[in-house]
Amino acid sequence: MATKNPIEDPMIDPRTGEYAVIAPGHNFKSVTQKIASIVLTSNTPLGWFFGLMVGGAVATGVVIGCTWLFLKGVGIWGVTIPGAWGFAIINFVWWIGIGHAGTLISAILLLFKQTWRNSINRFAEAMTIFAVVCAGTFPLIHVGRPWLAYWLFPYPNTMNVWPQFRSPLAWDVFAVSTYATISIVFWYVGMIPDFGTLRDRATMPFAKYVYGMLSLGWRGSTRHWIRYESASLLLAGLSTPLVLSVHTVISFDFAVAALAGWHTTIFPPYFVAGAVYSGFAMVLTLAIPIRKFYHLEDMVTLRHLDNMAKVMLATGSIVAYGYGMEVFMSWYSASHWEFFMMWNRMFGPMWWGYWMLILTNIAIPLTTLWSRKLRVNVGYLFVLSFIVNIGMWFERFVIVVTSLYREYLPSSWGTYVATKWDYMLFIGTWGLFTCLFLLFVRFLPIIPMSEIRMMLPQTKITRGGKTAETVSEEMS
Amino acid sequence: MPRKEGIYGLLAEFNTPSELVYATEEARAAGYRRMECYTPYPVEEAAEALHFHKNRVPLLCLLGGLMGVTTAFLMETWMSVWAYPLNIAGRPLFSWPAFIIPAYEWTILFAGLSAGFGMIALNGLPQLYHPVFNAPNFRNGATTDKFFLCLEAADPQFSPSGTRAFLEKFHAVSVVEVDH
């Protein structure tokens, strides 16, 4: 959609010249009806079934890939020595990075009082949880004997063996399990009042029953709301350092190792920025079709898309700085190994990975996102969101593979070639993610109704409780 | 506990939050104490009118966080120093800087769970039945677009006719009696 003359476009606030966060003319009832009807309708759109079918078909890749893996072992993958870390780690970092934007939107933007985030908050959080599900699959299945994956946790056992807490891989277990748990609690707590609304608006007895149970009997009492607001703020305050720590710990998996290309102090901030970058791209990938399909343009407006594109521009620039610093340090460190690592990345046998990353992560997004016209061009943003996520996948590929396959001793050099099982599992997780997301869209409130109500002008309190009618009565 | 019977309170319905806040302030000034507002989104002014300022969710969260950091750090120390001592690249057994990271994560885990479940517990949820649900207009409004004030019969000021007359002064859409 092209930018119209601000005076004619009703979506533009005449005072600020910005796109409105919520279209004018809405009231408490209309926003509630609009969002609740997506869930409570008895006519499931055919497109939804089609999407679920495609997603389910793709997700069978996970089932088949895991079954064969459990039967044969990790030898079916392309991992080998020296390339001992392959797709499993790349995909793990990629997926969990995608999840981070959800927490950023739900927690950090809440603390910064960015109310525009209210409309995209719920499905961004859902995206987080489903991305963590996809991410968590990979470390669990790559441990070699996945049926013993619970050994990762400190639990009393007859072997008298305990985890080794000086290893970043043990930190990962704590970071990712905490992240998954807190994200689910935050998500669920956020939905309790909306479940109350759905319970009260549902007509089917079964829906009333299920949403009633999920709402825990929420009745909107003011004392409950105050405690609820405290808990939300606290969870946001806790999620903020959590999300930063999770990707920091993941970067430690690399940075603590003494390998050229991994052993750098810039990894934590640049991993976190990259995570947010790819996560916002994924929010755009999801938000753009949803607002179109369910006609939510009034609540997920161009303002949201514009703001998300701006966040991508900022985090993308941090990522670009990270890449630049890596190149600079490979020269400035005067380390032969560092220099060779960078030369090998750029011009070695896997040069295409590095230049693909530069093209899709830096060259295309960071030149175009400066233009406001393109930032509010829905079609362009949709395409760009895919480009950035391809770029972020290549970033992890470059970090994991090109650092490993030609390390210190030339005699131990090798290469890395992913097998069809690697691809099947990776593509399968896209299907898993799509299925989970479609189920969420159909059965849970995709936009937080209570938070949208708070953004409406009708919430303004006039002292003395005088409405227009009471004032005129008093006058007479 | 014997089943409570009879009237729970009088429930007044309002169209706007301003009217609700005004009525609540006036009810408080008139001496009513056992009362509650029901709104479709958090109305802080209503909480002020009810003189509900402090809640214990932050305290629970703090206690949870302290418990998390203590548990994790002591657990790691015990496991690494006494239960299963391992020489990892010559580091001391009590290599506390490395222990900070899991302890940090468990601080957040325990604090977050305490905040979330503490809020639910302090709110007395899950409580699937409550007398206000008996009001015919409650479920159609309190979670959508209406604002309710309930003056409860347990209040010494309460009298079915007097309180009704009091509430009707505020131009409520309706004032209905709610049974237990």
pLDDT digits 0-9 by tens, B122-167: 998 888 888 888 888 888 888 888 899 998 888 888 888 888 888 8
Angle at A331 between CA A359 and CA A338, to 5 degrees: 85
Distance from CA of A412 to the nearest CA of B (A): 23
Query: Which A residues, 13 through 72, put their C-beta within 8 Å of a C-beta on chain B?
Result: 27-29, 32
Contact B127, A212 (CB under 8 A): no
List all residues 6 or more positions away from A437 whose beta carbon is below 8 Å from its beta carbon. A123, A126, A127, A130, A286
Q: Does A234 touch chain B (CB under 8 A)?
A: yes
Dihedral angle computed from the Cα positions of residues A331, A332, A334 and A335, in that order, rounded to the nearest 10 degrees: -70
Task: Work out the pLDDT band at B80, boundaries 50, 70, 90.
Answer: very high
The answer to whether residue A197 neighbours chain B at the CB level (below 8 Å) is yes
| % of chain A beyond a pLDDT of 70 | 94
What pLDDT is stored for residue A19 in this prediction?
75
Higher pLDDT, A298 or A385: A385
Q: Inter-chain contact A465–B98, Cβ cutoff 8 Å? A: no
| CA atoms of A361 and A377, how far apart (whole Å) | 19
Nearest CA in chain B to A174: B102
Give the closest-approach CA distance of A408 to chain B in angstroms: 20
Average pLDDT, chain A: 87
User: For residue A460, which residues of chain B lie inside 8 Å, CB to CB?
Assistant: 18
By the CB < 8 Å criterion, does A471 face chain B? no
The DSSP-derived string for A297-321 is TTTS-HHHHHHHHHHHHHHHHHHHH
pLDDT at A425 over 90: yes
Side chain identity, residue A347: F
C-alpha A424/C-alpha A34 separation (Å) is 39
The pLDDT confidence band at residue A464, using thresholds 50, 70 and 90, is: low
Partners of residue B38 in chain A, C-beta under 8 Å: 219-222
Question: A-B interface: how many C-beta pairs under 8 angstroms?
Answer: 233
Token code pair at residue A396: 């992890």
Q: What is the pLDDT of residue A466?
A: 56
Q: Is B71 on the interface with A (CB under 8 A)?
A: no
Cross-chain Cβ contact A181/B122 below 8 Å: no
Which residues of chain B neighbour A221 with C-beta distances below 8 Å?
36-38, 123
The sheet with strand B174-179 has its strands ordered as B35-38, B147-152, B7-14, B174-179
Q: Using DSSP, how many helices (H) and how many strands (E) does chain B show?
A: 6, 4
Phi-psi label, residue B31: left if phi above 0, alpha if psi -120 to 50, beta otherwise: left
Predicted confidence (pLDDT) at residue A6 exceeds the cutoff of 70: no
The gap between the terminal CA atoms of chain B, to the nearest Å, is: 14
- For A29, which of B25, B79, B145 is closest by C-beta distance? B145
In sequence order, what DSSP letters do the residues of A355-370 get, joined into one string? HHHIIIIIIHHHHHTT
Which is it for the CA torsion B67, B69, B73, B75, positive or negative?
positive
B171, A185: Cβ pair inside 8 Å?
A: no
CB A304 within 8 A of CB A418: no
pLDDT of residue A474: 45
For A195, nearest residue in chain B (alpha carbons) = B143
Contact list in A for residue B109 (CB cut-off 8 A) is 177-178, 181-182
Residue A6, number of CB atoms within 10 A of its CB: 13
Query: ω before B126 within 30° of 0 (cis)?
Result: yes
Residue with tokens 């957040």: B108
Q: Which residue has the tokens 């750090």?
A: B73
Largest pairwise CA distance in chain B? 82
Question: Which positions in chain B touch A472 (Cβ < 8 Å)?
Answer: none
A223–B133 CB contact, under 8 Å: no
Backbone angles phi, psi at A4, to 5 degrees: -90, 175
How far is Cα A372 from Cα A75, in angstroms, rounded to an integer?
49
Contact with chain A for residue B158, Cβ under 8 A:
no
Is A174's CB within 8 Å of B105's CB?
yes
What percentage of chain B exceeds 70 in pLDDT? Answer: 98
pLDDT greater at residue A55 or residue B7:
A55
Give B161→chain A minimum CA distance, Å: 23
Chosen for mutation from B93, B119, B139 (greatest number of chain A CBs closer than 10 Å) is B119
**Distance (Å, rounded) from C-alpha A170 to C-alpha A389?**
28
Contact indicator for B160, B2 with CB cutoff of 8 Å: no
Q: Is B29 on the interface with A (CB under 8 A)?
A: no
Beta strands at B7-14 and B35-38: parallel, antiparallel or unpaired: unpaired
Closest CA to A393 of A93, A132, A136, A88: A93
Inter-chain touch A32–B55, beta carbons under 8 Å: no
Mean per-residue pLDDT for B44-56? 86
Q: Which two tokens stand for residue B117?
A: 């479940």
Does the beta-carbon distance from B126 to A217 stay under 8 Å?
Answer: yes
Is A117 buried (19+), middle (13-18) or exposed (0-12) by CB count in 10 A?
Answer: buried
- Dihedral angle, C-alpha B15, B21, B25, B27, nearest 10 °: 30
Yes or no: say if A254 and A396 are a contact pair by the CB < 8 Å rule.
Answer: no
In three-state secondary structure terms, B7 is strand
Tell me the residues of chain A between 94 and 153 that have a Cβ less than 8 Å away from chain B: none
Q: Find out whether A230 and B153 touch, Cβ atoms under 8 Å.
A: no
- What pLDDT is stored for residue A414 in this prediction? 87
> Is the pLDDT assigned to residue A62 strictly greater than 60?
yes
Q: How far is CA B175 from the centre of its chain?
A: 25
Q: Please tell me the distance from the alpha carbon of residue B82 to that of residue B78, in angstroms, as a whole number.
A: 5
Contact call for A165 and B98, based on CB within 8 A:
yes
The residues, ordered by sequence, that sit 6+ positions from A260 with a Cβ below 8 Å of its Cβ are A335, A337, A338, A340, A341, A403, A407, A408
Q: Give the pLDDT confidence score for residue A134 in this predicted structure.
A: 93
pLDDT classification of A476: cutoffs 50, 70, 90: very low
pLDDT of residue A8: 58
Using an 8 Å CB-CB cutoff, list chain B residues near A188. Answer: 116
For residues A92 and A383, what is the distance between their CA atoms, to the nearest angstrom? Answer: 23
| pLDDT class of B102 with cuts at 50, 70, 90 | very high
> Does A17 score more than 80 pLDDT?
no
From A207, A235, A313, A3, select the one nearest B117 (Cα to Cα). A235
3-state class (DSSP) for residue B177: strand
State pLDDT tens for residues A109-156: 888 888 788 888 888 889 999 999 999 899 888 888 888 888 889 999
pLDDT score of A475 more than 50: no
The CA distance from B120 to A218, in Å, is 10
**Residue B55: enclosing H or E segment and its boundaries?**
none
